[in-house]
Structure formats: structure tokens, C-alpha cells
Chain A
Amino acid sequence: MSRIGVAFDKARADGRALLVGCMPAGFPTVEGSIAAMTAMVEAGVDVIEVEIPYSDPVMDGPVIQRASDIALAGGVRTADTMRIIEAVAATGAPVVTMTYWNPVERYGVDVFARDLASAGGTGLITPDLIPDEADEWLAASDAHGLDRTFLVSPSSTDARLSMTVQHCRGFVYATAVMGVTGARARTSDAAPTLVSRARAVTDLPIGVGLGVGTGAQAGTVAGYADGVIVGSALVRCVLDAPTEADGLAALRTLSAELAEGVRNPTR
């Protein structure tokens, strides 16, 4: 079983959901992002999702777009992301990478998989790669022992849902709302339905993302999902902070709140 799978199992045994926290690599700087992700782990985030910044992030809302732009303007390269993954993996927390497809294809799919595995990454979340187009990635992830997380959506048909989860390894990502990333006042009603539809066709753990921003929301999602994925709300802590130290402090506070939330699932 993959390292992520082990972590999910442990959380499940403890009667709680796993907390996955997302941060763009190189935001606000390479060192700054390592510090941010380390702080998240120390404050209770179980799994770090490192997003490779991309010029055209169509699944991301304004917060992650801005953070990605800042990272790219700072000159972060894909090779830096590998270094960041290595540093964060050294904390002991599993590190999963989220990336749009073009940077992987440009790096070389097999070389990317090799370097990701040797940096200690567990696998990839691919928001704009569906299994239908993923032959090269299926082969490379098999060759290098990496997990594959494809997305399922409320609009997925039953046939696509089962096809997609069959191609996943590690965990499945359920997009809770029809829309892009960004913390929302309410998480969605569509999510529990989607999760139970997915459960009918897979035993893999299911993470729910898009829209979670508070401990209470994390508790709600933990009530029906195995993993609670939080991005924009964490990124905003750093984005809105007047200084890097303030940003880290805000990150720790929110991470702790979310960690508390996933330990108190509302059922």
C-alpha cells in the first residue's frame, strides 16, 4: 500500500479524516514555501499538497492564481519544486503534488515521475488530465511506484465515475462544487452524494476539496469523506499577511483549527 494509503488507514482507525493542505511551490519564495509547508505540518496538517505553479490554472480561483503568479514572477522552476518536495518530505509528512499537465509533459513524463519519486513525492493530482488521455502517465506512475489521483465531479456519469476511480491509486479527489478553488461560505450539498456514489465503486479513500476554509466546515466534510483538502484558505493566510512571520503565524492558527475540525466529524 502507498504511504498515503497508510496515512488514510491510520486516520480512519482513529475515527477521523485526514487533513490535506495545499500550497503553491515557490510562493512567496522557494524558501518561504518550504517554511510555510513545514509550519502547516507542525500545526497538524497530515498531508502536504504541493501545487506546481502554472501560467494558466483553469481550475483555480483568484487566491491560488495570485499566489501562482507571485511564485512564477519570482522565477520558480519545476526543478525547484522537486527540491521543495524533498525538503517537505523530510518532515515525515506524505507529500502529494498537484499539477496541470503541460509542465509535466514539458519536463518529460517519465523523467518527471522518476525525479518526483526520488524526491520523496507520493504521486500526482492531475486537475486537467483525465484517464482517457493519461496513457503515458499510467505507464510512468507504474514504473516509478507513484500514486495517481484523478478528479471526479458531481457531473461525472456513473460510467465515468467507475472508469476514473479504477485508474486511481492512493486516493480519489472528489470536487465538492462545480467550480474553481476558493473558500466558500457554504460547502456543497452535492459533495456527500458524490462521495457515496464514489464509495459504491471503490474502496480507495476519498478526499473532498474545493471550498473548505474553516474548522467547522472541515468537521462537516470529515463527516462523510476520508480526507479534507484545503487550499485557498491556507494560501490566503500568507497572501494577506503584512510580513512573512505574520503569515506563518496565521497559517499555524488555521492549520490547528482545521486539524481540530477533522478530529470532530459532524455526522
Chain B
Amino acid sequence: MSADALAPVAGPQPDSTGHFGRFGGRFVPEALVAALDELDGAWRTAMADESFRAEFGALLRDYAGTPSLLYEARRFSAKVGARVLLKREDLNHTGAHKVRNVLGQALLTKRMGKTRVIAETGAGQHGVATATAAALFDLECVVYMGQVDTERQALNVARMRMLGATVVPVTNGSRTLKDAMNEAMRDWVANVDQTHYLIGTAAGPHPFPAMVRDFVRGIGDEARQQCLDLTGELPDAVTACVGGGSNALGIFHAFVGDEAVRLYGFEAGGDGLATGRHAASITGGSTGVLHGTRTFVLQDADGQTLESHSISAGLDYPGVGPEHAWLHDTGRASYLPVTDDEAMAAFELLCRTEGIIPAIESAHALAGTVALAPKLAAELGREPTIVVNLSGRGDKDVHTAGDYFGILDKER
């Protein structure tokens, strides 16, 4: 299946300049346009090239360990009141769906003849995945990470350095993911000839949103077939967490044409939308331009970006990919916030019922599913089948979760 992970399928596409309805596009310095055009061309050529598809497919299979399993979580299902099928992206090499995107872009970097990759990272997952691909492909790698995040994710900083990457703590602005992205953009403007900016999610200027979506859309292609094989039917709903939006688009894309399949994206509701301390750009933000694209943004009355808040570093971003903004506009997908507490309750439930420690990001998808199941059951008059994208594993979150649950042995 992964051998033709880039084979064309029907599904929503942006216009030729990257607009999804009124969203998307390119809001960038002119200095970057040539590089974006080059990337767009390289991506389209690669997509049409059998040998690129075969190489990407082989890497996904032999290196990343995909197709990932679709696992029926029986004990979790019993607690939730739905037949829950988990798409086990947590089992991929480096522990999340992100490896798919990174391998695709690293291959493209080679094809473009560039020798250096830069990346932004929040939790460090995308940084680790980028450093991994850079090691594999012998590329120089620089990762920008907000200083607040380098402190709360010290282990991932060490991982990146072990893999040979340079980690640059970003000390300006709010010193988190959005500032890391600003700094990566500045680096890119200055070094664009030799450097590819390996954006970690389906956001940013065209062609990134559509390109990243295509690199990760194997998740949904696999899950759709696996669900048919397992149950003989399509699921009633597909759910995922939404930070920038890559894992959600990755699993949604194959199902967008299946009108009976409901699509749910769960955003980080932090302390609750009413508190203003959240990262829910669609459900708690407004239309704006951030990091090169028009989308939903957390912003004040003057269009200054607001700081986002979430227990999950990977969802702690004040924007979202433009395709999600558009799926929201058209009503094809539904977006709902999940609070830190709801996510952590679902985190614990999965640990205790299935022996799987999820990433806190993915726990948002689980919590949303817990809330969705009874509503869907009532509506359908039967037990619903729900495919949940378990986008990553929780190893990186052990400290945060341990702190949250108060189970760290402080004496030692």
C-alpha cells in the first residue's frame, strides 16, 4: 500500500496558487517566492515520477515502519460506547506521523540539490524527525526552538543534538513555536539558495499546506482500506487532533469524498475557550494572515498574534493550516475544542485500558471521541464505529503527564 503512497486520488485540491476557498495563498516576502516556486515545481514533478514514488514508498515501509496498524481498542471501546479503531501512528519510527512528512521533504531537498535543512519545532517531535531524516540523507540541519520549549523539552533537545543537528534556542517574542517559525523564516530568506525550510505541519505559504498533506495522506489511505478489511464498512466518523493540522488532514483526505463519514478535528482548548487561554484557532480565533497563509488565527483587535496555551506543546500554536479553515467553512469537517483536563482524562483512560501511552496531542483526539461517541450513538441508533488517529506516542510527555497527575517522585 505504501509503495504508491503518492498515487493520485480524488480529493480537494487548492487552486494553482494555493488557495483553499478564501484561505491559503502566499503572504511572504518577495525574496522567498522563487524558492516557493522551485519547491512547487519539484514537488509536482516528483509526484508524477514513478521512481520518486517508489523511493518514498520504500522508505515509508522499510525505514518508518508503515503502514501503521489499525488496532481495535476493545477495552477502551467498552468504556466509550463506540467501536474505536486506533490508527497507530505512534508505532512509526520517531514515534509520530511526522516522520512521513519529513521523509518526503528530505527526498525533495535532495532532488533540488540543496544541502541544508532548517525546521521549527515546538515539542521537539518535528525537530527530532527532521534531525533523523537529515542524518539519514546526510544534510546539514538547524532546528529553531523557542527557549521556553527547549527548557520544557530538554530530552528532545538532546536527541536532536545526538542526531547531529544544531538546536538554536529562540529568545525573542513569546519564545515558543510561533517565534521559532519566525526565526526559521528569517534564516530561510537569508540562506535560501542552499537551504530547504522543512515546515512541520500543513501550514505556511503555498505549496506547503498541500504538499505536506500529500506526504502524510498515506495515513488515511491505509486506514480506509484497513477499516474496510476489518469491518467490511467505512467508519461512521474519523477523528484527529488539530495543531497545524497535518495528522488530521493526513487521515481526513482519503475520506473527504465519503459523504457518510463524519470528520472531526479536535483543537487544544487549554483552560477552556472562555478563559482566553487556549490554542483553538478555528473555534476560538478569527480570519487573519500568519506565517505566510490566510487562515484562522488567535489575534487581538489590531491583528497582533496572541499567545496560545495548551498542555500539549505540539498543539500550542496560534494558527492552523488553511485547508482546515476551508473544511470548516464548507462544513465538511467539524472542529471542537478539548480542554487540557479532558485530554488528560482520556490520556489516562487509554493508558489504563489498553496499555498504550499516547502523545498528549493525540489524547485530544481520544477525548473528543469520548464526548462524540454517545451523541453519535444516539443519532445513529446503534454503536458507531470511529477511527481515531493516534498520531504519536507519549514517551516525550512522560514528564508533563507525571507532573499533571502528581506521580513524580520529588524526593529523588
Q: Assuming A56-B173, A102-B290, is B304 touching A133 (CB within 8 A)?
A: no
Are B26 and A103 neighbours in the complex by a CB distance under 8 Å? no
- Chain B residues whose C-beta falls within 8 Å of the C-beta of A177 in the assembled complex: 190
Which chain B residues in 28-56 approach chain A with CB under 8 Å?
A: 28-35
Interface string of A116-156 (1 = CB under 8 A from B): 00000000000111101100000000000000001111111
Query: Do residues B305 and A56 form an inter-chain contact, with CB atoms below 8 A?
Result: yes
B30 contacts A164, CB within 8 Å? yes
Q: Which residues from B are CB-within-8-Å of A128?
A: 27-29, 289, 292
Stretch among A57-65, A215-223, A225-233, A251-259 lining the B interface: A57-65
B92 interface contact, C-beta 8 A: no
B277 touches A (CB below 8 Å) = no
Q: List residues 1-43 of chain B with CB under 8 A from any CB of chain A.
A: 17, 25-35
**B113 beta carbon closer than 8 Å to chain A:** no
* Contact flag A175-B304 (CB < 8 Å), given A61-B186, A101-B289, A102-B290: no
**Residues in B whose Cβ lies below 8 Å from that of A130:** 26-28, 30, 33
Across-interface contacts of B301 in A (CB, < 8 A): 77, 106
- B173 interface neighbour in A55, A127, A154, A160, Cβ under 8 Å: A55
- Most chain-A Cβ atoms within 10 A of its Cβ — which of B35, B172, B191, B304? B304
Given the known A-B contacts A58-B185, A180-B189, are A157 and B34 also in contact in the complex, defined by CB atoms under 8 Å?
yes
Assess the B186–A153 pair: CB atoms within 8 A: no
Cα(A154)–Cα(B34), bound, Å: 10
Chain A residues whose CB sits within 8 angstroms of the CB of B402 once the complex forms? none
**Closest-CB distance, B14 to chain A (whole angstroms):** 14
A72 within 8 Å of B by Cβ?
yes
How far apart are the CA atoms of A191 and B34 in the complex, in Å? 17
Q: How far is the CA of A130 from the CA of B179 in the complex (A)?
A: 22
Instruction: Indicate whether B302 reaches chain A with its CB closer than 8 angstroms.
Output: yes
Contacts A58-B182, A179-B189 hold; do A105 and B289 have CB atoms under 8 A apart? Answer: yes
- Quick check: B303 and A156 within 8 Å, CB to CB? no
User: Is A49 at the interface (CB under 8 A from chain B)?
Assistant: no
A54: which of B30, B193, B304 is its contact (CB, 8 Å)? B304
Q: Tell whether, in the assembled complex, residue B178 and residue A180 are in contact, meaning their CB atoms are under 8 Å apart.
A: no
Question: Do A175 and B303 contact each other (CB < 8 Å), given the known contacts A69-B172, A102-B290?
Answer: no
A-B contact count (CB 8 A): 119
- A78 and B302 in contact, given A61-B186, A132-B26 (Cβ under 8 angstroms): yes
Which of A127, A151, A153 has the most CB atoms of chain B within a 10 A radius of its CB? Answer: A153
Of the candidates A102, A132, A156, the one whose C-beta lies within 8 Å of that of B299 is: A102
Residue B288, interface by CB 8 Å: yes
Question: 0/1 per residue, B168-180, Cβ < 8 Å to A?
Answer: 0000110000110
Q: How many residues of B contact A (CB 8 A)?
A: 37
Contact with A along B271-291 (1 / 0, CB 8 A): 000000000000000011111
Bound-complex Cα distance A101 to B291 (A): 11
Given known pairs A69-B172, A179-B190, the reply for A153 and B303 (CB within 8 Å) is: no
Interface size on A, residues (CB 8 A): 42
On chain A, the residues within 8 Å of B32 by CB distance are: 155
Q: Say how far A204's CB is from chain B's closest CB, in angstroms.
A: 16
Instruction: Tell yes or no: A6 within 8 A of B by CB.
Output: no
Most A C-beta atoms less than 10 A away, residue of B182, B185, B190, B302: B302
Residue from the list A58, A65, A155 in contact with B35, Cβ < 8 A: A155
Docked-complex contact A101 and B27, CB < 8 angstroms: yes
Are A106 and B31 neighbours in the complex by a CB distance under 8 Å? no
Contact present for A77 and B302 (CB under 8 Å)? yes
**Interchain CB contact under 8 A, B302 and A153:** no
A153: chain B residues within 8 A (beta carbon): 29-31, 33-34
B288 contacts A105, C-beta separation under 8 Å: yes
Interface centre among A59, A150, A156, A157 (most CB of B within 10 A): A59
Residue of A nearest to B191 (CB): A178
Kindly state whether residue B211 has any CB partner on chain A within 8 Å: no
Please give the distance in Å from A99's CB to the nearest CB on chain B: 10
B111-132 residues at the A interface, CB under 8 angstroms: none
Q: What chain A residues lie within 8 Å of B33 (beta carbons)?
A: 130, 153, 155-156, 160
| Bound form: Cα–Cα A175–B28 in Å | 14
Give CA–CA (A135, B29) in the complex, Å.
17
Q: Which of A57, A101, A155 interacts with B34 by CB under 8 Å?
A: A155
Could you say which residues of chain A place their CB within 8 Å of the CB of B189?
A: 58-59, 178-180
Residues in A neighbouring B287, C-beta threshold 8 A: 105
What are the interface flags for A238-265 relative to B under an 8 Å C-beta threshold, 1 for contact and 0 otherwise? Answer: 0000000000000000000000000000
The reply to whether A105 and B303 contact each other, CB–CB distance below 8 Å, is yes
With A106-B303, A157-B34 known, 13 other A-B pairs at CB within 8 A are A56-B173, A56-B178, A62-B172, A102-B290, A102-B303, A103-B304, A105-B288, A105-B289, A106-B301, A128-B292, A132-B17, A133-B26, A156-B30
16 examples of A-B residue contacts, CB within 8 angstroms: A58-B29, A59-B189, A61-B186, A69-B173, A72-B304, A102-B288, A106-B302, A128-B28, A128-B289, A130-B30, A155-B192, A156-B31, A156-B34, A178-B31, A178-B191, A180-B186
Residues of B within 8 A of A (CB): 17, 25-35, 172-173, 178-179, 182, 185-186, 189-193, 287-292, 297, 299, 301-305
Minimum-distance CB pairs A-B, first 10: A106-B303, A179-B190, A153-B31, A103-B303, A102-B303, A155-B34, A58-B185, A55-B304, A55-B305, A102-B289
